[in-house]
Structure 1
Amino acid sequence: MTSKNKPFIIMMILFLLILVTFFTSLNLGHIRIGPLDVLKTFLGAGTAQDQLVLFDFRLPRMTIALLIGAGLAVSGAILQGVSQNGLADPGILGINAGAGLAVVMFIFFFQGTMTAVGTFSIFIMPLFALIGGIGAAFLIYTLAWKQGVTPVRLILVGIGVNAAFGAGLIIFQLRMNPTDFMQATIWLSGSIWGTNWKFVLSVLPWIIFLIPLAIYKARYLNVLNLGDHVATGLGAAVEKERRTLLFIAVALAGSCVAVGGGISFLGLVSPHLARRLVGAKHQLLLPASALMGALLLSIADMIGRNLLAPSEIPVGLVVSALGAPYFIYLLIKVD
Structure 2
Amino acid sequence: MSTSTVTAPSGPAVAPARTAAPARLRTATAFTAAAALLAVVAAAHLTQGTSAVGALDLLRLLTGAEDPGTADATRVLVSSRLPRLLTGAAVGVALGFAGAALQSVARNTLASPDTLAVNAGAHLAIVAVAAAGISLPVLSAGGLAFGGGLAAAAFVMAISAGGRAGTTRLILAGSATMLALSALTTLLLLLFEQATTGLFAWGHGSLVLGDLTAFSQLAPVIAGAAAALVLLGRRLDILALGDDTAAVLGVHVRRVRLGATLLAVLLCAAAVTLAGPVGFAGLVAPAVVRLLGPLLPGLQAHRVLLPLSGLTGVLIVLGADVLLRAALGGQAGVDVPTGVVTTILGAVLLVWLARRHRDAGPTRRPPGGHAAVRSRAFHLTVVGVCAVLAVAAPALGMLAGDTWVLGGDVVNWLQGRTGPAYTFVLDQRFPRVAAALLAGAALAVAGTTVQAVCRNPLAEPGMLGITAGAGVGAVTLLTFVPLAGVWVMTGVAGAAALLTFALVYGLAWHGGLDSDRLVLIGIGVSAGCAAVTTFVVVVFDPYNTAKALTWLSGSTYGRTAEQVAPVAVALAVLVPLIAAARRHLDLLTLDDDTPRVLGVRLEPARLLALGAAAVLTSTAVSAVGVISFVGLVAPHAARALVGGRHARVLPVAALLGAILVSLADTAGRTVIAPAQVPAGLVTAMIGTPYFVWLLWRSRFASTRAR
Which amino acid is 2:658 matched to?
A
For this pair of structures, how many residues does the alignment match? Answer: 326
Q: Aligned residue for 2:574? A: 210
Which amino acid is 1:104 matched to?
V
**1:109 matches 2:473:** no
Tell me the secondary structure at the aligned position of residue 540 of structure 2. Answer: coil
Q: Aligned residue for 1:29? A: 401
Which of 675, 687, 698 is 1:323 aligned to? 687
Q: Is the 8 A contact 2:455 2:590 kept in 1?
A: no
Which amino acid is 1:67 matched to?
L
Q: Deviations over 1:171-225 (max 9, x none)?
A: 0011233565432221111111342211122322112111121111111101222
User: What TM-score, normalized by structure 1, do the two folds share?
Assistant: 0.92
How is 1:41-190 mapped onto 2 (pairs within 5 angstroms)?
41-54=413-426, 56-110=427-481, 112-113=482-483, 118=484, 121-177=485-541, 181-190=545-554
Q: Is the 8 A contact 1:194 1:259 kept in 2?
A: no
Tell me the secondary structure at the aligned position of residue 262 of structure 1. Answer: coil
Tell me the secondary structure at the aligned position of residue 29 of structure 1. Answer: coil
Tell me the secondary structure at the aligned position of residue 175 of structure 1. Answer: helix
Give how far 1:235 is off: 1.1
Q: Is the 8 A contact 1:62 1:298 kept in 2?
A: yes
Q: Given the superposition, is the C-alpha separation of residues 15 and 89 from structure 1 closer, same or farther in structure 2, using an over 3 Å criterion?
A: same
Q: Aligned residue for 2:233? A: none
Give how far 1:262 is off: 0.9
Q: Is the 8 A contact 1:107 1:180 kept in 2?
A: no
Give how far 1:298 is off: 0.7
**1:240 matches 2:604:** yes
User: What TM-score, normalized by structure 2, do the two folds share?
Assistant: 0.45
Separation in 1 of the partners of 2:559 and 2:589? 40
Q: Which moved more, 1:321-330 or 1:298-307?
A: 321-330
Separation in 1 of the partners of 2:467 and 2:686? 18
* Gapped regions of structure 1 (runs ≥ 5): none
Q: Which moved more, 1:18-27 or 1:281-290?
A: 18-27
Q: Given the superposition, is the C-alpha separation of residues 185 and 258 from structure 1 closer, same or farther in structure 2, using an over 3 Å criterion?
A: same
Which of 374, 388, 391 is 1:16 aligned to? 388
Which of 258, 277, 281 is 2:622 aligned to? 258
Q: Aligned residue for 2:65? A: none
Percent identity over paired residues: 37
Q: Aligned residue for 1:294? A: 658
Which amino acid is 1:140 matched to?
V
Report the structure number with the largest CA radius of gyration.
Answer: 2
Which amino acid is 1:248 matched to?
A
Q: Which moved more, 1:297-306 or 1:156-165?
A: 156-165
Which of 615, 629, 632 is 1:268 aligned to? 632
Tell me the secondary structure at the aligned position of residue 672 of structure 2. Answer: coil
Q: Aligned residue for 1:7? A: 379
Tell me the secondary structure at the aligned position of residue 195 of structure 1. Answer: coil
Separation in 2 of the partners of 1:152 and 1:177? 37
Tell me the secondary structure at the aligned position of residue 87 of structure 1. Answer: coil
Q: Deviations over 1:287-307 (max 9, x none)?
A: 111101000111101110001
How is 1:210-229 mapped onto 2 (pairs within 5 angstroms)?
210-229=574-593
Q: Given the superposition, is the C-alpha separation of residues 86 and 129 from structure 1 closer, same or farther in structure 2, using an over 3 Å criterion?
A: same
Indicate the RMSD between aligned Cα atoms, in angstroms. 1.8
Give how far 1:271 is off: 0.3
Which amino acid is 2:395 matched to?
F
Separation in 2 of the partners of 1:298 and 1:192? 10
Q: Deviations over 1:4-53 (max 9, x none)?
A: 22212211110101212222222211111122222222233322211221
Q: Is the 8 A contact 1:92 1:265 kept in 2?
A: no
Separation in 2 of the partners of 1:135 and 1:329? 32
Q: Which moved more, 1:2-11 or 1:21-30?
A: 2-11
Q: Deviations over 1:97-126 (max 9, x none)?
A: 01111222222332x32xxxx5xx211112
Separation in 1 of the partners of 2:591 and 2:685? 35
* Gapped regions of structure 2 (runs ≥ 5): 1-373
